[in-house]
Amino acid sequence: MGKAFIACGIMSGTSRDGIDVAVVKIDGKFPKNKIEPLHSESFEYPAPVRNLLMAQPEKLTAEHVAGLDFLLGRIFGESAARAIENAGLSPDKVDAIGSHGQTLLHFPRGRDLAGESVRSTLQVGSGAVVAKTAGITTVSDFRSADMAVGGEGAPLVPIFDYVTLRSSKHSRIALNIGGIANLTAIPKKADLGEIVAFDTGPGNCMIDTAVRMGADGNATFDRDGALARLGDADEECMQEVLSHPYFSRKPPKTTGWEEFGEAYTCTLVSSMTDRGRSLKDVVRTLTEIAGKTIADGIENFVRPKMPVDEIIVTGGGSHNTMLMGSLRRRLPEVTIEVGEAYGLSSDFKEACAFAYLAYLCLNDIPANIVSQAAGLDPAILGAIHNA
């Protein structure tokens, strides 16, 4: 066996609450790699940066976007360097950094521009700046190559899910509940082309927005589902959200802040508040929406293709006992556990995945397996920036 590949993954998701960094060791050959976490930690965005990221994208000027690209590149690079040092490693012992970047816009279905429908995506956090700041070769911009061959540019982690969770005995779903919830369905004994992966819809993003609004910035999320536990769901609001056209679209599909972010949530919260609903009711409603849309996505788009024995949940939503309870209530015959039961970190799985995606890019291994399963061309994901 050759020398192990050491990589650092950086993830900043839809919730825009900070940066997750993971350092991993990768042994073996694809697709039978062994991926071992060595160290992980989180870093908060400075408040002025987070406030800017929370703004509606159309309110950002070109100067803002260019500035954020370089500023976040430096912040990502500094965070990676600190995590690597805390892992007891020097930069020369790390082969690569994989940085997702912070998504500002993601329009895989196109928007009108100059008389044409143009598909686009934009993640800020310059890979070149990350590389120079940390002193380590960096792979970034993972979405563009898949979109260039006609894919949706997301979800990006299914190849990591396949390598770490495929089983000869059980059909599994890897469910990550971040700001947006996404899943990878892996039939038992699956080949790469047999998986099903897509975004189910909002995970934590609407819950977090409502909590920030109701708590006047004194809280940023519903810890352990404590608020939701005290409230009652607003059925009228639930039906309004469930009628959103995204949920009837067939996979492969992806969504994000553009559809279920602050603007959309503020409208829902105002409507519920006008009808006399309390913050507890609002948060319960949004929690039930997350649970139902995940369960519906599984029932409508996974179960027709495979049985579901186990669901492995990661992401911030895995700590929300009300959301986990909603899933177990809606899918009573399925074993639902958090990532740690399967050797995965609930909080750092996606950061580990981007470390692995950097490895795949530098070894010229196409990683857009969802698009390949849909008949699109293979694509090596990521742009390489030397230190």
pLDDT string in tens for the chain (387-residue length): 468 999 999 999 777 778 999 999 999 999 999 999 999 999 999 989 988 988 777 788 999 999 999 999 999 999 999 999 999 999 999 999 999 999 998 999 899 999 999 999 999 999 999 999 999 999 999 999 999 999 999 899 999 999 999 999 999 999 999 999 999 999 999 998 899 999 999 999 999 999 998 877 678 899 999 999 999 999 999 999 999 999 999 998 999 888 898 889 999 999 999 999 999 999 999 999 999 999 999 999 999 999 999 999 999 999 999 999 999 999 999 999 999 999 999 999 999 999 999 999 999 999 999 999 989 999 999 999 999
Q: Which of 206, 371, 374, 225 is CA-nearest to residue 293?
A: 206
Q: Which of 267, 269, 286 is CA-nearest to residue 228?
A: 286
**pTM (predicted TM-score):** 0.94
- What is the DSSP secondary structure assignment for residue 329, as one 8-state letter? H
- Is the peptide bond prior to 91 cis by the omega test (within 30 degrees of 0)? no
Which helix (H) or strand (E) is 148 found in, with range? helix 144-148
pLDDT the model gives residue 113: 94
Q: Which of 64, 176, 87, 145 is CA-nearest to residue 377?
A: 145
Give the Cβ contact number of residue 55 at 10 Å.
Answer: 12
Spell out the residues 6+ positions from residue 161 whose beta carbon is closer than 8 angstroms to its own. 174, 184, 186, 195, 197, 353
pLDDT the model gives residue 305: 95
Residue 281 is encoded by which pair of tokens?
A: 């009711």
Looking at the domain covering 158-342, what would its CATH class be? alpha beta
Rounded to whole angstroms, the Cα distance separating 194 from 181 reads 21
Please, where in the chain does CATH 3.30.420.40 lie? Answer: 5-153+350-385, 158-342
- CATH topology assigned to domain 5-153+350-385: Nucleotidyltransferase; domain 5 (3.30.420)
Q: Which of 259, 265, 261, 258 is CA-nearest to residue 210?
A: 265
Which residue matches tokens 């805390």?
Answer: 86
Rounded to whole angstroms, the Cα distance separating 342 from 331 reads 19
Q: How far is CA 279 from CA 207, 226, 270, 334, 373, in A?
A: 10, 12, 11, 31, 43
Q: Which of 216, 241, 352, 371 is CA-nearest to residue 293?
A: 241
Residue 1 is encoded by which pair of tokens?
A: 């066996």
pLDDT the model gives residue 16: 79
- Is the peptide bond prior to 252 cis by the omega test (within 30 degrees of 0)? yes
Rounded to whole angstroms, the Cα distance separating 162 from 184 reads 8
Angle value at C-alpha 222, between 218 and 224, nearest 5 degrees: 130
Spell out the residues 6+ positions from residue 212 whose beta carbon is closer than 8 angstroms to its own. 219, 220
pLDDT the model gives residue 164: 97
